Amino acid sequence: MSDQYNGWVSKLGSIQDPDSSAGQLAHELRELAGTAPARSLSDFARHTNYSKQTISDALSGRPRTVSEDVIKAVCQVCNADESTKQRLMEMRVEANRSPAPTPTSPTPALLISAPKDSSSPADIALPDAQERLRPARWKWFLATASLVVVIATGVLVWHWWPDGCGVFSGVRLNDKADGECIGVTDGSYFFNRPSEAANPDDRSLMERINDVEKRIQIENSAVAGTDRYVKVVLLMPLTISKNRASAISLAQILYSLEGVYTALYRVNHSSDFGDPTAAKVQLSLANQGSLQEADPSFLRRIIDVSQPDHPLVTVVGLGSSFTNTKTAVEYLAQQGIPMVGAEASADSLSDLHLLWSVSPSNTEYVNRLKSFLDHQNVLKSAIIVYDRNPDLYTQSLAQDYRNQLGNYIKFPDQPFQGSTLDIIAAPDVFAPVVTNLCDAANDSRAPLDTVLYAGRIADFRAFTDALKARTCRQQPLTVLVGATGFAEASAYAETLASSNVKVVVATSSDSTSWATNQPGTDTPPGYSAFLKAYHERGFPNDDLLDGYAIVHHDALATAAQAIRLAAQGTPTHPPTPEDVAGQFGRLNLAYAVQGASGTLSFPSEDGRATGQPIPLEQIK
């Protein structure tokens, strides 16, 4: 009986064959659906990210109408445990084995006949089952059908024309050479298209990225059913260029989304970062593309996310340390929007108005490298190899080497023309550099043993290949670098080992050591809670290695804690960006953020967090 179900589910029609395997599955799905925070079938369907018809079919009891993905979506919306999901999957298999029932009557679906003794209005309004549709009705039917086809075709044409991003999506192409769709979404628009991936590995990464974005959209839909929530935007590259060097890899995009989704779930389903009833968080995704778009027309779309009852109060992420990063920060600050940076470490981004950051600065990274050098007696003679492009990260890192490691630097700096917006550095770019390295290594007074690398990971493979081809391979070299994410260099570990080269990185996290929580590992107090939540979302340990998941988690966690503090002071209305900005200076002492990377304390106005360890990792 339909009245045995909760809420809107009780208003659904009867299950077609309740005693069949398909009917029993529909019964279980209805009971589960009744536990969801939805007001209607349409509302529930929106939460699952499937159409109303798809969900209606799943709950009907008709065989072969429920896919595995639909069951997974229903379970996720209803917070079903793994055993429930597995049981429903097994019931689905059994339902698909059962033959579909044979209709007992050939009555066409469009011809509905009421009983002859019925006195209901339907007896008068509906035609007899044997009555033919009149010609006028056929004309009306054909005209309507033709109109539907024309509209559907028009929508498809407009959706993909002229740039392939969708006119009605609010997303646009950044450049035909890059082929990236940039814009803002709640997770329902997928920026990556696996079918267009350059190789199977990229396709797999794109599929995983889309899966996390869909989960963010499902969480956003659940939050939309609550009364008190605010909006946060994740601003970063969510795609890579088809033809040019990109600031971030697909893998790093995936890791970042996994980290931020883990934080979003913790924020809305626990009190780890303040009382969730004070204000929940809805997360929009702003893809700025591989060029890190920062023109006003793009940035205005971020501001447009805000609504009177659900204002945009913070932007997090902000991409790598490029000039456009600073441009975006200054624009958003002019609009009064506070921001929390994730991985950007350039010193010039440390004191911008309304910007707080969870990542250590280049100054701090180099200070950690100095401590390492000062406590050993093997490495004594260094040289700087730096990217001469106008890159905020590489420029400030090279300057920090000069400022702090001057006593170790024995030779002139070696510039190279690294990745630009058009090309990736080729091995021959480093050929003159490596020739000079060998000359310095043969110096009789202070033979070179250390290279201070101030370049992007995108250029490191070319540098590695050039080091392998050098004529002085018998003399060992140690490359030192400071970076938030440099773990992708481990792909070149075999080449480095055969080249007699070691690489040591001062970085923001050490997930391998922290997972053991052994004495001396300096594991942050909040790491175990993060790791538990991360694993519960189904994400693997390997995705934590370069730190992108950790810093993006901490960026959203920090924003959420400031939001919750602000919400306590505005019980009658949602907090504003100004309210939230005023709380970052209180995120210390009792309100320090228990982040994955450390216990984060923030300065009163703007700046970087303190309290996180800076581990040293050797690339192996």
Taking the CB of residue 324, how many other CB atoms lie within 10 A of it? 18
Confidence at residue 618, expressed as pLDDT on a 0 to 100 scale? 93
Q: DSSP alpha helices (H): ranges in 98-184?
A: 121-125, 135-160
Residue with tokens 């360890």: 613
d(CA 39, CA 8): 6
Confidence at residue 461, expressed as pLDDT on a 0 to 100 scale? 92
Confidence at residue 514, expressed as pLDDT on a 0 to 100 scale? 95
d(CA 267, CA 285): 17
pLDDT digits (tens, 9 = 90+) for 557-586: 999 999 999 999 999 999 999 999 999 999
Per-residue HEC secondary structure of 321-332 comes to CCHHHHHHHHHH
Confidence at residue 291, expressed as pLDDT on a 0 to 100 scale? 84
Mode of pairing for the β-strands spanning 181-185 and 280-287:
antiparallel
Give pTM, 2 decimals: 0.75
User: Is residue 120 in a domain?
Assistant: no
d(CA 243, CA 232): 31
Q: Domain holding 309: CATH number?
A: 3.40.50.2300
Pair (497, 544) in one structural domain: no
Pair (334, 448) in one structural domain: no
pLDDT digits (tens, 9 = 90+) for 61-83: 876 668 887 888 888 888 888 88
Taking the CB of residue 296, how many other CB atoms lie within 10 A of it? 10
Residues 6+ apart with CB under 8 A from 325: 292, 294, 318, 319, 344, 346, 349, 392
Residues 6+ apart with CB under 8 A from 303: 312, 335, 337
Pair (187, 331) in one structural domain: yes
The domain containing residue 501 runs over which residues?
A: 362-507
pLDDT digits (tens, 9 = 90+) for 318-359: 999 989 999 999 999 999 999 999 999 999 999 999 999 999
Mode of pairing for the β-strands spanning 312-317 and 229-236:
parallel
Confidence at residue 424, expressed as pLDDT on a 0 to 100 scale? 61
Residues 6+ apart with CB under 8 A from 568: 275, 278
The mean of the pLDDT values for the chain is: 86
Confidence at residue 581, expressed as pLDDT on a 0 to 100 scale? 97
- Asked if residue 320 lies in contact with residue 247, where contact means CB atoms within 8 angstroms, the answer is yes
135 class by beta-carbon count within 10 Å (0-12 exposed, 13-18 middle, 19+ buried) = exposed
d(CA 183, CA 463): 34
pLDDT at 167 over 70: no
End-to-end CA distance of the chain: 63
Pair (151, 299) in one structural domain: no
pLDDT at 106 over 70: no
Q: What integer is the mean pLDDT of 457-465?
A: 92
Higher pLDDT, 505 or 156: 505
Residue with tokens 């900005």: 581
d(CA 505, CA 396): 16
Pair (308, 219) in one structural domain: yes
pLDDT digits (tens, 9 = 90+) for 204-229: 999 999 999 999 999 999 999 998 99
pLDDT digits (tens, 9 = 90+) for 422-438: 556 666 899 999 999 99
Pair (91, 56) in one structural domain: yes
Q: How many structural domains compose the chain?
A: 4
